[in-house]
Structure 1
Amino acid sequence: MEKTLAKKVLAVDIDGTITLNGFGKIHLQALEKLRNLKNDGHHVIFVTGRSSIEAYFLSIFGGLTLLGVGENGGCITHGEIMTHKMIGDKNECQNAFSYLKKSLDEPIKEKPVFPRLTEVVLDRTFDIKNAQAILDEEGFNVGLFDSGYAYHINSRGVDKGSGLIKALEMLNADLEDTIALGDSETDVPMFRTVKNNIAVNNSIPELKEIAKIVTTKNSGEGLLEGLSMISDQFL
């Protein structure tokens, strides 16, 4: 008797993973593949450093599961009537930003992005390790993360891995039946959480080191390649 594979959850980063050349243009063939997987009964959700609202809107237009994990795990937007589940604390992130503005000699300013509900997004104009050390010394309960596009201030313990766990609980889905796809530093916690993971070729070295599969192609082409490589076993 042919073995019936469990339905999967595909947790997909957006920028650098399903976009072209880092400019926010969606790789349409990759999106079509994800839609086909959703039509086959799998959940397909975006887990991104962008806002959860952007992820949610892309899921609508892409015909995917109506759930987006955004702000590096800080907020989940979901449901046929758009609803937000906020995990991070915007106030503590804003307080940390205000302190850094007073403490750093380097320029520090917010990046113009889609409004955030739980995090602060900054231009990459300062030493992030030094800034984190200053915040730790003052006892701020936040972390600084580099998405490659911007620096993000998130509540401590909030990341793509913890946000994905919350999303799986909402979907009543199993971590063992989840596949993660990504490319950047902010995807590392998600890859450490999900053992079945795919790093596209343009990923940072740290992500490639812990990935189960590393593709030979970049971004959307890499996503297609990676899914093809695991389709017989997982999909």
Structure 2
Amino acid sequence: MKCKALVADIDGTLTLSRDTYELSLEALAALRRLRNLGVRVALATANGLDYALSIARYLGVNAVIAENGCIVALEGEIHELCVAFPRQEVVDVVLSTGLVRESEQNRCRKYDLAFYPVADPAAALSAIRSRLGNSYRVEYSGYAIHVRPQGVDKGTGLAFLCRAWGLPCSLVAVVGDSEVDAPMLRLGWGIAVGNADEEAKNAARITVEGPSGLGFAEAVDIIIDGIACSD
């Protein structure tokens, strides 16, 4: 086994599919296999920090990238990588499109705001991007549309973790499924699950056959077999 660490997305990667929040038992068993082998594990998610830390606690993980890279929690310390912005103004602009509803998570999110499309996600993305201009990054995770200040993404969070761990990112396996995962899939040794977005597949080194949680279990086999982090 050549990889020294693993960073895993949660929604669509550790779940049964890309349209549920229920965790895959196969993915959880695979995650435990890696941890038992001494591999460092972190979660990287679009979710708010409180949600991410709650999940990490029950998985035995002590490193989290939350809010799409804006916040990193590592061994009890919180590191904020995004800059402050006029939250309510942004919320008002986004809701004025009439194409989304605000996520209940926003009350505990600091930098990355989430909105659920009520119609076509592509139309909502286009309208929000048009109204906000170039100051904000607007992406669709397959679960929600995310809006945050430009310049930070999951790749930013991964780079921070690699420095903190003292590891080259080429020795960190990364597994994900959506366009918000693409920056960290490029930076680390990226593995896309079988039902991932094309952006994620194009950013990854390889794409496994299995979808979501089954694909994650397949990715862990690749890591343990020494195929990942091999170049």
TM-score w.r.t. structure 2 length? 0.86
Q: What's the Cα RMSD here?
A: 2.2
Which of 2, 24, 43 is the aligned partner of 1:46? 43
TM alignment of 1:114-193, pairs within 5 A: 115-125=108-118, 127-136=124-133, 141-193=135-187
Render the CA deviation track for 1:42-77: whole Å, top value 9, x for unaligned.
11100011123322222221123x011011111112
Paired residues in the alignment total 222
Q: CA deviation at 1:165?
A: 0.9
Overall identity of the aligned pairs, in %: 28
Indicate if the aligned counterparts of 2:34 and 2:220 stay in contact, CA closer than 8 A.
no
TM-score w.r.t. structure 1 length? 0.84
2:101 partner letter: K
Distance (Å, rounded) in 1 between the aligned partners of 2:210 and 2:185: 19
Distance (Å, rounded) in 2 between the aligned partners of 1:90 and 1:24: 29
Render the CA deviation track for 1:87-131: whole Å, top value 9, x for unaligned.
2235344432223445x3x34431122721222111214521232
Distance (Å, rounded) in 1 between the aligned partners of 2:102 and 2:111: 14
Residue of structure 2 equivalent to 1:113: 105
Q: Secondary structure at the match of 2:191?
A: strand
Relative to structure 1, is the Cα distance of residues 38 and 109 closer, same or farther in structure 2, using a 3 angstrom cutoff?
same
Distance (Å, rounded) in 2 between the aligned partners of 1:210 and 1:83: 30
Indicate if the aligned counterparts of 1:56 and 1:78 stay in contact, CA closer than 8 A.
no
1:111 partner letter: S
Gap regions ≥5 residues in structure 1:
none
Gap regions ≥5 residues in structure 2:
none
1:224 partner letter: A
Which 4+ stretches in 1 moved above 4 angstroms?
Answer: none
Find out whether 1:229 has 2:222 as its counterpart: yes
Q: CA deviation at 1:167?
A: 2.0
Distance (Å, rounded) in 1 between the aligned partners of 2:25 and 2:63: 20
